[in-house]
A and B are shown apart, each in its own frame.
Chain A
Amino acid sequence: MIQSTSHDSSAHDTHHAPPAQFTVRVLRQDVPGGSSYWERHTVKRENDMNVISVLQRIAANAETADGEKTTPVAWDCNCLEEVCGACTMVVNGKVRQACSALVDKLLVDNPEEIELRPMTKFPVVRDLMVSRARLFRALQKVKAWIPVDGYYDMGSGPRVSAESQEQAYPLSQCMSCGCCLEACPQYTKIELKQEEGETAEAFQARQKEAYDRGFVGAHAISQVMLFNKHPTGAMNAGERLDALTAEGGIQACGNAQNCVAVCPKEIPLTTSIGRAGRATTVHVIKKFFDR
């Protein structure tokens, strides 16, 4: 372990020296659907630690704060630069990415302890790993893509105005991390259990139906606005709006606006919700009078 002896840049703004070590409280769960329990770990502070490196130290140590042998804490991560969304978890009560949760900043709020929990709106796979299948199912439900009907060259597409690009770019930054859903009071957990003897296909079909009946969430609503704005994507605008007015659609939004407050990519989710509100209003009125 490298201990930097030069100027300490990470302990900014604080008059107190950072602690030599700190406790990490992890909410663990051994199996899907199982009961959860708290486990405490002691970690030596190093410069420029993030929550991922803390979890690496815990895995290397494999001992609880009381010195008992334990299994490594499981977690998901991938890019380590806050663009993939895989390491999303609840750090000190707030949902965020573990990779961009810097330890020295967390220790300013509470110098003794860091609390790690899995996201509460998704089924836990193990420890801090959750299944975000419902999040991706919502993107399927609203057709968050632009269909191509072949792989041959179709020539250049329609021109997109600079103004339209500026509106679309922030929405395209969504990394499907699930922060907006975790903080949403209207997005409630759906966790099904595979029945004994139930085939994987039957279980998945049951799960898909349950997910489709639940709230789609801010991320999917925002993606509808992104793809409906695109000149080629706009060809399927009606289908996406149909999905947003189906059960669990935009109407389930309660306007608490937590989504936009917690979004790590600062995507204007509530603007998307307002725009989707307007688009669905016009869409259903048109549908009613045009049929």
Chain B
Amino acid sequence: MQGPRIISVEANSASFFSRNEFLIRRLHSLTGLVPVGAYMCIHLITNASTLGGAPMFQKNVDLIHSLGPALPIVEWSFIFLPLIFHAVVGVAIIRSGNPNLSSYHYVGNVRYVLQRATAWIALAFIAWHVFHMHGWFHNEWWLENVANEDLGGHRFDPKHAASTAALALEAPIRKLAYFIGVVSCVFHFANGLWTMGITWGVWTTAAAQKRANWICGAVGIVMTVVGLSALVGVAKTDVVAAQAYEDTKLQMKQEEEQRVAAENKRLSSLTAEERLAERKAREANH
């Protein structure tokens, strides 16, 4: 007779994800609000300034781009890396669940499913949106051969903010895609804000969760209005006029830069005595 074979229990073979599940899930929750959610709100508000005309939008874009070489560092540490983390963990979370909406038609269950559906839409939309506007990578070969006009990538030029944004969204199908994308992102943010409050224990009782629901709903409605204003603002932009303004502004900026460069060159060619004499003459004039 064959004796019983002993199958040993697997020694603690837990993966990194399972050993740190709590921490990872809480970081996923946190990154949804800051920086990813907060960034989305700033982004939508900035874009809504297209309603104020091409000069106002250009001013806001210039303000962001005044970070210069620090901009990619800020973008990667506060936008892309947290967003990629939120997305990767989010996909793992979605795969861990088993929706049962067909059996249980409760509002909370509908929202559970919608949170996951909008997550997929947001993931696809944001990936395409970053390609559509920025081409993903600012490498020259990539921009010429992959993220080019044929594939509809890299359509946004920060120096011609309003006009390129308007041209990029000219096709109605693109406006529709942005409409669906923005509404999905805003729902995911507002609903996620509410569940986050339960996760971290901010609102605990049913009554408190109901009150919080109104607040998160209001945040969602306001951000939907802001997001759709951006789409309306872009749709209403007069491309020719915006381009004329942007070109004039660029030309003025170039002329100013040339003037400053010429002045610096002249000053550097003077001797110390001549510079002193010039400054004294200027002071005497005042």
Contact = CB atoms under 8 A, between A and B. Distances in A.
B21 A252 contact: yes
Contacts of B99: 185
20 contacts: A185-B99, A185-B112, A186-B98, A188-B98, A197-B7, A202-B7, A206-B7, A247-B19, A247-B21, A250-B22, A256-B108, A258-B108, A271-B205, A274-B203, A274-B208, A274-B209, A277-B198, A278-B201, A278-B202, A284-B26
Contacts of A249: 21-22
Interface of A: 93-94, 183, 185-186, 188, 195, 197-199, 202, 205-206, 209, 213, 245-258, 260-262, 268, 270-271, 273-281, 284
Contacts of B22: 245-246, 249-251, 280, 284
In this complex, the interface size class of chain B, counting residues with CB under 8 Å from chain A, is 35 or more
Nearest to A199: B4
B112 A256 contact: yes
Contacts of A188: 96-98
Nearest to B2: A197
B285 to A, nearest CB: 64
A188 B104 CA distance: 16
B9 A258 contact: no
A270 B107 CA distance: 14
Q: Which of A213, A247, A268, A275 has the most CB of B within 10 A?
A: A247
Contact of A275 (B10, B97, B103, B201): B201
A204 to B, nearest CB: 10
A275 B204 contact: yes
B203 A195 contact: no
Interface string B1-45: 010111111100010001101110110000000000000000000
A100 B205 CA distance: 28
Nearest to B111: A256
A202 B108 CA distance: 40
B195 interface: yes
B4 A213 contact: no
Interface in B201-244: 201-206, 208-209
B141 interface: no
Given A261-B104, A279-B201, A251 B21 contact: yes
A263 to B, nearest CB: 12
A255 B97 contact: no
B73 interface: no
B10 A209 contact: yes
Contact of A261 (B8, B97, B106): B106
Given A268-B206, A277-B198, A280-B22, 15 more contacts: A185-B97, A197-B4, A198-B4, A198-B6, A199-B4, A206-B10, A209-B10, A249-B21, A251-B21, A254-B93, A254-B97, A256-B109, A256-B112, A274-B204, A277-B204
Interface in B93-131: 93, 96-100, 103-104, 106, 108-109, 111-112
Contact of A183 (B19, B104, B195): B104
A129 B197 CA distance: 38
A190 to B, nearest CB: 12
B105 to A, nearest CB: 10
Given A198-B7, A271-B205, A274-B205, A261 B199 contact: no
